[in-house]
Amino acid sequence: MSSLTGPLNVTSTFVTFFAVVGPPKVMLSFAHVARERTTLVARRVALLASAASALLGALCAWTAPYVTEFFHISAESLELAGGIIFFLYAVGLVLGVHVGADSPDEVDEMHPVVSGFRELLLPYVVSPLAVTAVLVESLNRNDWGWRSSVVASFVAVALIDAVCMVATTGLLRKVHTTTLEVCSRLLGLLLAAVGVELFLTGLDRAITDWSGATH
């Protein structure tokens, strides 16, 4: 078996997670949080969201076989669906259309951290792309050692996100969104390739299984 981006190894898994939920994607959403809040509050939001994202990623990785079995989802179906989702989202990034993005929430003066966390909820904490990637990668091997490696890779990306957001909070309060949009569109090219690779892998497995069942 192979991971989304190449041979089955921790490095390729890390690259996949970096593409779907790394700084180029997360910081575009965090930029608005940073502008509308004080530096201290924005950094608290970054740390809280990163911790929640890492926790959810670890939970998805460790429970992936049980979740897919409970919902009767095959690995091939997950790869085909994930490939389509990745590709459509990537096309949106390249064209500057943020698929599924909500308009930024108004800052709650009484609870600025909570409102900031809510703003990062869908693009970062419970990102559909990240959850799909974690599930697919975790199912590549049926052992706890591999799933723990997947968890480690995801947590590492979340840590990098946290460091980048905390370190650049002050800069993001001043930088123009055009710079982040350029990075986002470049990331879209990588995500499109990841989506195609994932879809083809799932299609190949589905055809192989179907051929085996007919003989």
| 114-147 per-position pLDDT tens digit | 889 998 998 899 988 899 899 989 998 888 999 9
For residue 67, give Cα distances in angstroms to 59, 74, 76: 11, 11, 15
Give the chain's residues under pLDDT 50: 1, 6, 101-102
pTM: 0.82
Residues 11 and 3: their CA atoms lie apart, in Å, by: 10
Check: CB of residue 75 under 8 Å from CB of residue 198. Answer: no
